[in-house]
Amino acid sequence: MKKIVLIGFTLLGMLICCQNKSMAQNISCGETLNVAQNRFDNGDFYSIPSLLKPCLDNGFSDQQKVEAFWLLTQTYLFLDDPISAEDSYLKLLRIDPLYEVDEELDPVDVVYLSEKFTTRPRIVLGAHLGVNTTLVDVIHPYSLSQIEGTADYSGKIGIQGGISIEYVVNDFLSVGTELNMIQRKYEFSKSVFGLDEQEFTETQTMIDLPVFARYRFSMNRITPYVYAGIGIHYLTGANGEAVLTDKSQSDGGFSEFRVEGPPINVMDQRNKITYSFVAGGGLLLPIKYNYIKIDLRLMQGARNSVNEENHYGNNELLFRYAYIDDYRRLNNFLLNIGFVKPIYKPRRKKSRK
């Protein structure tokens, strides 16, 4: 029993000792920065690197490391060791790629050294979700009725989501592409055969691959941008819901007979591949080293969405609903909210000959 109690007290003492040692190490590293700063202020530069090294290896938080490497950068410049100063500043930027010197308060030699480096990312990744509405541009109207009213198209709300990748050319320009899955909807209504009412609602799903160039404006941390490019769309699904309201007039008044049914697959009446011109703009809102993106885009259709070769190929639409497609281009307004992650790469700028 005494041995068990003795072992228990021994383990408890070891635990308390380890905790105190860890606390002492943290306090020691916290004090180390103050000691190093005091030595720097007093001109004792040679002892600073060896003083900071143990805590840089194990002990400093990221913020403390930034402060330590900043102090080392200035120290090595005073010691006339530019190679070590550049190495220290580069290590600082790897921890905090958005670190900026103060040209008015910081020493001029440090400001000059900082201008030799860039943290501009080479690659920017992103993901987004959003909603869209469809605008229909009629190229040529068609009808099975010789007596008809004016066709009325209206957009409905669809959804989309996707991922993006961009290559950064310089501080303002980048080129990129996206891979999106888009669902878009629109509806159509028209009077036919004098009194009858015809309705058609189409839902499409497609894979969208735009390629664009983006120009970013500098406005403090909030960054507005504009872009333009072209998009290729591959249709993966198209279904239409048709309704025909057959109206007839007699001495007793009007009678109506409503013809409707389940959704109809209209993929054979659609071009699988279409194109569009893409233009848009938005804002990048910073969240530490990343951004939230708010983006508004116009996709201007550049090809007829209807398959001309199989225009009259859907018997159910023709004979049950008396419906035939107009030749049309589909345009879309898209609103996206996304997350943008720059892949920072702190590096020395290439020297110009």
194 vs 158, more confident? 158
**Would the pLDDT of 16 be above 80?**
no
Question: HSE (CB half, 13 Å, CA atoms) of 113?
Answer: 25
- What is the rounded average pLDDT of the residues 139-152? 80
Written as six digits, the tokens of 333 are 């307004």
Q: State the pLDDT at residue 252.
A: 64
Listed residue (353, 282, 324) closest to 145, CA to CA = 324
Q: Last residue of a domain, which of 84, 117, 150? A: 117
32 by Cβ neighbours in 10 Å (0-12 / 13-18 / 19+) ranks as buried
The answer as to whether 136 is a domain residue is yes
The answer as to whether 348 is a domain residue is no
pLDDT band for position 351 (cuts 50, 70, 90): low
Q: State the pLDDT at residue 23.
A: 39
Same domain, yes or no: 66 and 131: no
The answer as to whether 159 is a domain residue is yes
CA 138 to chain centre: 32
280 vs 18, more confident? 280
Same domain, yes or no: 183 and 315: yes
Q: Domain total for the chain?
A: 2
Q: Last residue of a domain, which of 76, 91, 117? A: 117
21 vs 290, more confident? 290
Q: State the pLDDT at residue 148.
A: 65
**Would the pLDDT of 4 be above 60?**
no
Residues 311-349 pLDDT 10s: 999 999 999 998 999 999 999 999 999 999 999 989 998
* Residue span of the structural domain in which 61 resides: 18-117
120 by Cβ neighbours in 10 Å (0-12 / 13-18 / 19+) ranks as middle
User: Could you tell me which residues are beta bridge partners of residue 279?
Assistant: 228, 298
Same domain, yes or no: 154 and 241: yes
The answer as to whether 5 is a domain residue is no
Same domain, yes or no: 54 and 95: yes
**Would the pLDDT of 198 be above 80?**
yes
DSSP states of 246-305 as a string?
EEEEETTEEEEEEEE-S-EE-GGGB-SEEEEEEEEEEEEEEETTEEEEEEEEEEEE-S-S
Report the distance separating Cα 334 and Cα 337, nearest Å.
10
222 vs 233, more confident? 233
Same domain, yes or no: 108 and 127: no
The answer as to whether 10 is a domain residue is no
For helices 62-78 and 82-95, give the axis angle rounded to 10 degrees: 160
pLDDT band for position 352 (cuts 50, 70, 90): low
Q: Which range scores top for mean pLDDT: 29-33, 87-91, 99-103?
A: 87-91
Same domain, yes or no: 56 and 182: no
Question: What average pLDDT does the chain have?
Answer: 88
Q: State the pLDDT at residue 9.
A: 42
Q: The domain spanning residue 184 has which CATH number?
A: 2.40.160.20
pLDDT band for position 149 (cuts 50, 70, 90): low
Q: Last residue of a domain, which of 117, 133, 162? A: 117
**Would the pLDDT of 10 be above 70?**
no
Report the distance separating Cα 74 and Cα 52, nearest Å.
14
Q: State the pLDDT at residue 196.
A: 84
Q: State the pLDDT at residue 13.
A: 45
Q: The domain spanning residue 88 has which CATH number?
A: 1.25.40.10
Same domain, yes or no: 264 and 170: yes
Same domain, yes or no: 203 and 337: yes
Same domain, yes or no: 180 and 230: yes
User: Could you tell me which residues are beta bridge partners of residue 221?
Assistant: 219
Written as six digits, the tokens of 72 are 């080392």
Same domain, yes or no: 84 and 150: no
